[in-house]
């Protein structure tokens, strides 16, 4: 794989740089992986190292990670073993849909379910979108002082949570459903003339 450095314009600094963890066995087969701690595959480890090459030129004022091992391992392989675990950065809690693919969930629900519609609230409850939004807002509140001091921040986390985090940053609650993220990808949020923007999205190594 080839790795191109992340090129971000100075007009959108400082940047909140987001890295989705590398591939796991469950992510490779489309299984919803919330709080289950699944390790990276060999390809996932290669993707993590690739993400590290993409962001190697950046000096971050703060590096944080989901406490789940697939995110922390990605951080370490990407050259940031110092990443501080932040509980708010864990993936969406899928409740009774944990470990299932979307087609399997749709067979159970009998409709065209997608995660943005919410998760079970019965015997095995999970989080609804409002709950994930609240976690993302709390995480951003903790990261803002570093950004406001003019320093870039690096976050290692998970697909659905990072998409929600981006939507909270943009102030558009439904944007996450339209922001695809591949495993091992690098994205960046910033501001242009004070307006929150997406500075880069889903940057991944080229095979």
Give the residue carrying structure tokens 């050259």.
79
At residue 186 the predicted structure's pLDDT band, cuts being 50, 70 and 90, is very high
- The pLDDT tens digits of the residues spanning 35-84 come to 999 999 999 999 999 999 999 999 999 999 999 999 999 999 999 999 99
Q: Does residue 123 sit within a domain?
A: no
Q: Does residue 148 sit within a domain?
A: yes
Catalytic residue among 15, 21, 80, 158: 21
Q: Does residue 177 sit within a domain?
A: yes
Which of 18-22, 46-50, 115-119, 125-129 is least confident? 115-119
Q: Does residue 155 sit within a domain?
A: yes
Q: Does residue 21 sit within a domain?
A: yes
Q: What is the pTM of this model?
A: 0.96
Domain count, the chain: 1
Q: Does residue 152 sit within a domain?
A: yes
CATH number where 69 lies: 3.40.50.1240
Q: Domain containing 54: what range? A: 10-94+129-203
- Coil, helix or strand at residue 195: strand
**What pLDDT score does 207 carry?**
46
Catalytic residue among 23, 45, 88, 91: 91
Q: Are strands 195-203 and 186-192 parallel, antiparallel or unpaired?
A: antiparallel
Average of per-residue pLDDT values in the chain: 94
Q: State yes or no: is 91 an active-site residue.
A: yes
Percentages helix, strand, coil for the chain (3-state, rounded to 5) are 40, 20, 40
Q: Does residue 186 sit within a domain?
A: yes
Q: State yes or no: is 158 an active-site residue.
A: no
């Amino acid at each position: 794989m080839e790795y191109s450095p992340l090129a971000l314009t100075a007009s959108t600094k400082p940047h909140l740089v987001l890295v989705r963890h590398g591939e796991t066995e469950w992510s490779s087969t489309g299984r919803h992986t919330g709080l289950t701690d699944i390790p990276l595959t060999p390809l996932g480890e290669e993707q993590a190292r690739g993400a590290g090459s993409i962001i190697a030129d950046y000096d971050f004022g703060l590096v944080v990670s989901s406490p789940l091992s697939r995110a922390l391992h990605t951080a370490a392989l990407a050259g940031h073993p110092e990443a501080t675990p932040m509980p708010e950065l864990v993936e969406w809690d899928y409740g009774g849909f944990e470990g299932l693919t979307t087609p399997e969930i749709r067979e159970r629900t009998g409709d065209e379910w997608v995660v943005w519609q919410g998760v079970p609230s019965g015997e095995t409850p999970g989080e609804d979108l409002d709950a994930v939004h609240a976690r993302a807002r709390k995480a951003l509140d903790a990261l803002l002082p570093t950004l406001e001091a003019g320093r870039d921040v690096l976050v290692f986390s998970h697909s659905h949570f990072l998409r929600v985090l981006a939507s909270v940053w943009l102030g558009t609650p439904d944007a996450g459903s339209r922001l695809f993220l591949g495993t091992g990808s690098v994205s960046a949020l910033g501001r242009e003339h004070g307006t929150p923007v997406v500075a880069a999205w889903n940057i991944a190594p080229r095979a």
